[in-house]
Structure 1
């Protein structure tokens, strides 16, 4: 028996003795009194027996005669009566003591039961204690193993830290060397650029002189030619010539206009669009006919692509207000989303007012729709805190993305077709893996997201517009956030040019900002006294060439600006506010939806 078990047994014996002392001490005097009473009763019984014998003797003596015996008998009878009374009292006390003994025996039994229960509980506690001791022993063993493993890991960490320090020193050396090489390269490039600038300046001077001579020759043409058609002398130059003088000396019509030719000539001369017009129409050298050509150029937007002016189709797209519209990148098909919880596909090539398909599954209004780059999938966001992906070919709901705690305002493909990014009013952006239908990353923006775009098919950079007036840039490769761009009011929509160099941002102060993403700064602002942003999710759009911007207004008109700054045209057709517009990527078609349930398709012919 171990020392601990001996101590435990001694402690139990001590406790039992203490308990017996406390429980029996109170009844010890009663038991002693009862024992004395029992002895006294036995004594009285013997005395009573003696008295009975004496009484019999006295009676027998009385029967023989004598007066003295009568007195003795009377005395004895009194004594006997008193003894009987005393015996009765003793019997009464005996009964009380017997009842007390019965009660005490019952208490003793109860204490025995309690003691047996405690002994059973003690045995269970001892068993549990043994198990805990075994567990403690195992934990001690595990702790020792963990200490050894920790020491090993510390040694490995120290070794890796030394290796890292060595590699870091080597990296710094390589960076210094790379910096030196870059500085040398920049010096060489600067020299080359200076030489190229000198050559360009020489070419520009020569061509400017030639341009001036050609303009002077055009102005000094004989009056006979002026009596003929106003454009005869000026358009006599070959229309397909790429000579800057010929391009600038003639009036360009829609048939003559060649975007590549104009761009090539302007680039060769070194002029931008405004300088090009100013060079064409210098003071003192502009006739009325050439002044009229300015209006013709503005009407065609500098690049010869006419603005949509006619309504091709007009139909009621949804049962309630329409919120979103987007063209397919591969078909003459447009998708619309509305407050009736449906996404509808419309085949514009057939000029049909019946939807090609109705995509259901959302339990609240649709906020945005978008296609992937192949046009095979359509992505819609909803007020039910979710986003959904449908396939266009069979109109089936493929994925439902739920996890936001606020309405989802925008969604775009990243690393298509396996990932999607969504922006919500819960102040977060979530990136979803469509293979596992799970959120793989959450970005906390700190403000409600109204719209977002991605810079390329790989989705390396996400740009989001927010309620707190900020445009945020997220690089998912490095998980770092670039500097924010602050706008004067909350942002309603974003759209990227095709080359991803320019971003338009519609702002709630009734302006549209044009940002150069290479500089991360606003380079132009578009506004008009009658132009009013209709709602917090009003969508603006670039055209396919990235040279025109369209946005709907609260007065039901659609305003089209040239990126150079002036308003080209205003389209009518809606009777209520326009919520969203979208420019076709394959043709010069413009689609718009608004609060009047209607979708209108505008065309240039």
Structure 2
């Protein structure tokens, strides 16, 4: 590598530039003196010459100047001049010229002094610049050394990066092989699962066929036994045992088993044989118990007609008994900071003693309502994102939650870890509700789909594609109702693939609530109104507004009271508003612990308590 003063280097170039600048300045300043110094020298010479002439022309006493003598001054006067000036005139003239020359010499001497001083200043400035140039050269040398060191570090880093890149390429190739193996394993598992499902379906079909054959054979046997029982004579002893059925029950059983004419004959025969004491009560009770068992078997057979494909009956839960009178809440009975961040969802269990709250801290807390207080029961963990909705199954043994992790989570009450993860959505899941059975659920998402789930197999059984993303869903007997961001409520037949009805709103739908009798639907929307829709006539029955009520977010929830006489919603200013459904008037407002927007409310099925949750982590129990 070239040295710091080698020719051609940047240092040599800028040094030459400085030298050229100094030389140019020297020439420019010297040019000013080049004309001045010769003129000054000429003046000095001329002054010296005039002095010598003046000394020579000093007249001696009694001397006469010869006429033929001519000097230079005479030449100036001209050769044609007839008269010569006198010496005194010439002396005066010489003295004046001498004074002028002295003045000029003084001025030139002063200018020379000034130029000398300026030259000294410039020399000092040149010295300063030379010192600065030396300092800059030292700094440049130091920077060059630092640059060389950094270049060496860059080379070392580049070599290290090359090693890391090679290791990364190797790991990437290894990961690609692992991913390919994983895909093969997943395909094999999928094929095995499909074969398993097909084998289970075939086994279930065969089992159903065997059950049908068995039931038909049993039905034929029952028919034969009924025909035999109709022909058989039944006698009753006079002193039946306490465990035997009563006369009226036996008579009713006989009437239900045999025809009317034969029943009358049997009744007459029974009256006649009451007096016969030699008939044993055991035979009579055996015959009657056999008849009752036959009738019971028929009833059980009718009940088993609704079995599912797997042979296990699908347990459907009837709606909970409607509360006759719901008490209006008046005061805050308990206030808790339940979560680490805002609380988004709240739901009462079907027995009104268990409460679930879900928040943005990815946790679900279960609470027991004991003596007007909230007592912590359990914490459900395992959700991958913020909780947006919670729901209990009709039996109260399972909890379903919608999360921002593009999935819904299922827990069993009593177990802290998630039981199932319902994954399949491609965006945030905003609503998750059970249907009338504990093994079916519906979810709505911002990916513009509504999905039905079979919780037996933890798989999606149906996907409904919608033009707008869903904010909330509710389920009836054979209908799924979804509220959307495009200001529409859509009705979907769970037995068919298409939308059966669309009801437009004046704002984005934030929540839906179905009454216990499934005849009315409550909607809350961002136009700060609540509407009650009569599902029998498919029209809006009542619209609720109030001064100060504001729907604060796209997930604000409103609910019916259990007796369907009131509707309840929380406002953005932390106030609860209660309207009368029949009159449409504002019944009451509740102000208290809430200092921020209320996200959701819940009214227990017994009608005695109301719970509200807000964005400031508070859970308030009202009574």
Q: TM-score, normalised by structure 1?
A: 0.48
Structure number with bigger Rg: 2
